[in-house]
Structure 1
């Protein structure tokens, strides 16, 4: 029946509302609910659809359910009854009884039913038990008006479909019943045509398991339901993709919506968003073109239409559509990494916006422009400065705050003082609070977490992540226009998993990533973030356990997500396997990419590559060659305020000083950086530095110069080595535990502790059988 009216048979125009068996069920529920209120209250008003006739809990459930059922597409009676039963068993029984009575009585029951609806709205001299201007009252009025417009043949078809709707619920829909019902419906229409079997089956709503397989499963939407569906799914795709329909099912619903409402232009945009979440370029660009093509005014090109005002308005509308279409196309190309195509589309949008003096469009274009320019490492400070000032002048708080955050990120990468960076972010936070922009609040927190992590303050970074995640669970973030940015949330979850793994809690990190996978499925827009994090953690775990083949597989998986990170980890793996030449080649490629500001580079990656290059040089016994690389790394870290990486680079310098017979200088450096390492370092880094500190302590106190000091140093070193061994064991780096056991055995031998020496020797032998020296990397570095 829905398809019949929506397609406009018999010369009828396509209405926004039409009557279906599902809507008849809704009307029965409303009527029975209101009549019971009327009986118990004596014709009292039921404004807001909540009264004292029903239990308060039942009333709340009823109102929420009715709002959802009115807005959503039709469902089968078999699917509706369990939901009604959850509200009230009495209401469910009344619905079944009224439907069966309506079907058994005949077609006149429909007329009597809609007449009772009119009486309900107009009873008691205007004091009806259901308010005419309430949500349910307006829905009932629309249905009554739609019924009044039906012809007799259309009422007959509605009654026949209602019989099928009720018979399917009772399980009495046999092939004979279906043929009989189809024969009833195949009557002469207004234009002399007949309704075929295919048209009949298309009118039936989505069925339960009893429906034959040849019937379609797509839902049929009215225009209002379609608009609500599009708004709901678009909001979920932007806010939380895990709650939106899966891509294949969503596309099926979009196709059904386009078939039943071909003039609903927004379906193309929803299809564009669905393609974007799958990174499907061809489908995305086709749907974006279709969306703006349908939005353009058709106009009348006849010679009689010479109204200058009409033509001027049409030209303005076209210009408006064209420049925002170009802007959307630029965003699409930017998303797929097509920088040149994005710049061409963006320049076209800027040109048209300047011609039309559209400053708002210009500021949106500027937002994309500095993002594209920033990818090439160009100094965009002046561009951002002008953009922020102009958006503030035009009273565009969202773009102003977003511009400040982009300006903050750019300045942080340009080695500005951290205090100034967080001062800029504070201005953005103030704007976000003033204008209730929770999306940008979450973006700001994610940016603060990244900055603290870059500056080497892992505790502060974790605090920002936890604050962001706690925001996502608050009720106010899901109502109104307030929402949490999904990308920021995915970044926070991934960062928490990474920090848990650094502390040796690998299983907890995997559980967190499993949550991220359920929240952001693999085909979702931001799945790349947690997928990269997962592969990095698996790679590190494989390296710690000396499983080189598995680590190689992880490198290949990382290459699909980040080429520069894959090169760096491949260089690390080559160094662990003793392939010095291959490792040096890869590291030089990474350093060149970072120096030239190629895609994927970062200051942290540059510093880590220099440190790893120094480690490879040390393993080749080129300690003097490694020193310039470490000093370059230190200069880079101090320039960009990378406190933790600077401390680790200092530890490498101390290790070289130990090898060059300068343990006192190494000890002095280690004492300066130990607070930073212990406060913010991973378990493995802490253990490495503790092992180095123990070696320096032993080298600084010889038995010839100071026997008592030597014994104290030995006892202190044993305790520190025990802590290092425990840390290596926590992160499953057992081949490093073997070196600790070897050193401890020598110390116990010198102290004369025979039993302790034998325990260490036995532990060493067990580990050596499991991790032979020929298969693990040499420990000539930190």
Structure 2
């Protein structure tokens, strides 16, 4: 084998069938006839215009919109692999519909295939040559320019036809007639299986040319990376990859890498590794690979193998591949590969994260832009979890934004916006986080008319879905989650919407007191995020009144207190809040619960968890109120209620408003002042009831009704007492599955 055999030649691709018709197939002949009929009709229109026959040409001219649509259709037909006549006909009469006059001319020409015999191929060859070379138009230019896409297409077919012997032309004509007749039979038949069998029989054995195969591989690879929904389904895609691999040796490497991507989205580890090995084996096995330029394939094969193990959560194998990748990249002096390896090493080993300032200084080099931007985003994530100053992190993200926008890196732009929304949510500014996600969803991230549809968009949609659920709009939240399922089906991106779906289900079923469904949702969460699952199961047991079980679960969770990788600070703070609540109730207050809440408040301040800090103070206020210290409780809740009302869900809002009103009333000593204050606060109590009713959290609704009935009874307001007592009774009768135990619980 010499080096020339591996080079791609546009006119003479390496087809296995070097005798016979080669790459001239009946499908390509029909595409030529389709264009020929269009040009013939256009030439007739121009001749009529020259004769000033306005009335006749007004109904026959192709409009500018139709011409543009047809040229785009023709471009796609030249890029598609060979298809059956039935599929071609369905495209021309359906998705890429052509005019009735044009379709009639096309059908009339191909119906003469059998009647004219091989003569139609000679005429077609002559017509193509005239269209390229003759200057018969009004502008004295050829109808088809030689350097245009269709010019190349015609010239290539002319070369093939000139090289074919008379016997090969006879075979081509015979294949074309059979192709047409079987297509007509398939159109007339209604049985799908028979149609498919006829379609397969009517196609040539090798239906790809090398340009079509290259375009197909490039398009499908881009779709799998940026917009998987628009890519072919895995089974159909693998079938086409196998066709390309069997036909063209120069495309082995690219085709196998596409097969690797296809197997990854199916979570098929053995076939993914095999396809990846074959991809890089084919590259490194080419003649002349010993050159320095080709040695780089070794480190990138190791890097891709490490990424593959990471996606399947095989971190030890990934670390081994990364270390070997770094050694090979250092030997070859490949800075780009070293940067990418450093990034993945940092993701696997967060304790040794580093970002070299020298790399940021070299950001003008195109090859380093992506790796530097990825390093910045990873650094921000690790630093945020470590409690770094938020303002500094947002400044660093701006640098990543500048790099991404300057080089139109759409995937990194969306990931950066999604990470910014995640930071706002981490620090407790949920409203701003939701706005960031909506800003990303309304952004026009397009490159070459291709819309980006990657992980950043998935995270943004999940964030909006979760925010709507926290506001009690479970129906809209479910609709968004359903839409995310359709667009992002591949693991590990699918983990985002799976976690949101199960988390929202667990919250909603706890509100509805559907304990078995809530336990099932917690079990589903465990496979994605074990710590969050334990927290939700603790909430479930508190709602059921099993505080001892909840404490045992929290003790297991907080056993990993010293390891930040096993237990994030946010989960730790939330676990301490639940633990403190379990240790006290309205009848007995534990001093240890206040100590736990104070430690949680210090930790929340250190890590800038503002919303959790406000929630902690709300619990402290509740404990102070239970200890008959309403003035101190009012001061604490008054300082934090604004943050809760601005950034919390309606469940926390309802609790905060209910507690605030209780503190206001309890801080008043005289009966007359209490009566006046109760009248002022009636709308706020009703708003709390509205929040809990929207969530269908009937236990909290009964708690508010019971409190108001007792309050009005103590104040001697009999009519109001009877009104809320009656509402309490209605709730009990309408929702018989709702228990009456622990209805005064605060959590």
Please indicate, yes or no, whether the TM-score normalized by the shorter chain is above 0.5. Answer: yes
CA displacement at 1:505 relative to structure 2: 0.8
CA separation of 1:117 and 1:583: change in aligned 2, threshold 3 A: same
CA displacement at 1:151 relative to structure 2: 2.6
- CA RMSD for the aligned pairs? 2.9
Map of 1:577 onto structure 2? 544
User: What is the aligned counterpart of 2:373 among 396, 401, 408?
Assistant: 401
Q: Distance in 1 between matches of 2:181 and 2:199?
A: 17
Does structure 1 conserve the Cα–Cα contact (< 8 Å) formed by 2:238 and 2:259?
yes
Q: Distance in 1 between matches of 2:366 and 2:70?
A: 46
CA displacement at 1:110 relative to structure 2: 1.4
Q: Distance in 1 between matches of 2:47 and 2:625?
A: 95
Q: Could you say what secondary structure the match of 2:380 adopts?
A: helix
CA displacement at 1:690 relative to structure 2: 1.4
Mapping of 1:473-488 within 5 angstroms?
A: 474=444, 477-479=446-448, 484=452, 486-488=454-456
User: What is the aligned counterpart of 2:133 among 97, 122, 125?
Assistant: 122
Does structure 2 conserve the Cα–Cα contact (< 8 Å) formed by 1:623 and 1:656?
no
Map of 1:241 onto structure 2? 228
Q: Distance in 1 between matches of 2:153 and 2:48?
A: 21
CA displacement at 1:773 relative to structure 2: 7.6
Q: Distance in 1 between matches of 2:479 and 2:301?
A: 42
Q: Distance in 1 between matches of 2:653 and 2:736?
A: 22
Q: Distance in 2 between matches of 1:594 and 1:459?
A: 30
For normalisation by structure 1, the TM-score amounts to: 0.85
Does structure 2 conserve the Cα–Cα contact (< 8 Å) formed by 1:350 and 1:365?
yes
Does structure 2 conserve the Cα–Cα contact (< 8 Å) formed by 1:276 and 1:525?
no
Does structure 1 conserve the Cα–Cα contact (< 8 Å) formed by 2:131 and 2:144?
yes
Counterpart check, 1:741 vs 2:716: no
User: What is the aligned counterpart of 2:625 among 649, 658, 661?
Assistant: 658
Cα shift readout 1:588-633 (whole Å, capped 9, x = no counterpart):
232234531235x432222111111112112494521211221121
Map of 1:322 onto structure 2? 298
Counterpart check, 1:209 vs 2:161: no
Q: Distance in 1 between matches of 2:696 and 2:739?
A: 19
Q: Could you say what secondary structure the match of 2:290 adopts?
A: helix
Mapping of 1:190-229 within 5 angstroms?
A: 209=195, 211-212=197-198, 215=201, 220-229=207-216
Map of 2:732 onto structure 1? 768
Map of 1:186 onto structure 2? none
CA displacement at 1:424 relative to structure 2: 1.1
Cα shift readout 1:545-572 (whole Å, capped 9, x = no counterpart):
0110110111122122222222221222
Mapping of 1:253-268 within 5 angstroms?
A: 253-265=240-252, 266-268=254-256
Q: Distance in 1 between matches of 2:429 and 2:377?
A: 20
User: What is the aligned counterpart of 2:508 among 514, 534, 541?
Assistant: 541
Map of 1:153 onto structure 2? 167
Q: Distance in 2 between matches of 1:618 and 1:160?
A: 90
Map of 2:9 onto structure 1? none
CA separation of 1:174 and 1:330: change in aligned 2, threshold 3 A: closer
CA displacement at 1:749 relative to structure 2: 2.5
Number of equivalenced pairs? 713
Map of 2:30 onto structure 1? 25
Mapping of 1:609-758 within 5 angstroms?
A: 609-619=575-585, 621=588, 623-702=590-669, 706-758=670-722
Q: Distance in 1 between matches of 2:726 and 2:167?
A: 95
CA separation of 1:280 and 1:173: change in aligned 2, threshold 3 A: closer
Q: Distance in 2 between matches of 1:368 and 1:501?
A: 34
Q: Distance in 2 between matches of 1:244 and 1:157?
A: 36
CA displacement at 1:172 relative to structure 2: 8.8
CA displacement at 1:734 relative to structure 2: 0.7
Q: Distance in 2 between matches of 1:240 and 1:273?
A: 13
When structure 1 is superposed on structure 2, of 770-779 and 399-408 the one drifting more is 770-779
Map of 1:421 onto structure 2? 393
Q: Distance in 2 between matches of 1:104 and 1:776?
A: 90
CA separation of 1:390 and 1:771: change in aligned 2, threshold 3 A: farther
Counterpart check, 1:604 vs 2:575: no
Map of 2:324 onto structure 1? 348
Cα shift readout 1:352-386 (whole Å, capped 9, x = no counterpart):
11111222221121121212211xxx152x44546
CA displacement at 1:724 relative to structure 2: 1.2
CA displacement at 1:715 relative to structure 2: 2.4
CA separation of 1:727 and 1:657: change in aligned 2, threshold 3 A: same
When structure 1 is superposed on structure 2, of 69-78 and 235-244 the one drifting more is 69-78
Q: Distance in 2 between matches of 1:207 and 1:31?
A: 34
CA separation of 1:210 and 1:229: change in aligned 2, threshold 3 A: closer
Cα shift readout 1:225-281 (whole Å, capped 9, x = no counterpart):
111111111111111111111222222222233233354221111111111112222
Counterpart check, 1:412 vs 2:369: no
Mapping of 1:299-310 within 5 angstroms?
A: 299=287
Counterpart check, 1:69 vs 2:77: yes
Q: Distance in 2 between matches of 1:285 and 1:8?
A: 28
Q: Could you say what secondary structure the match of 2:446 adopts?
A: helix
- 5+ residue gaps, structure 2: 1-12, 50-59
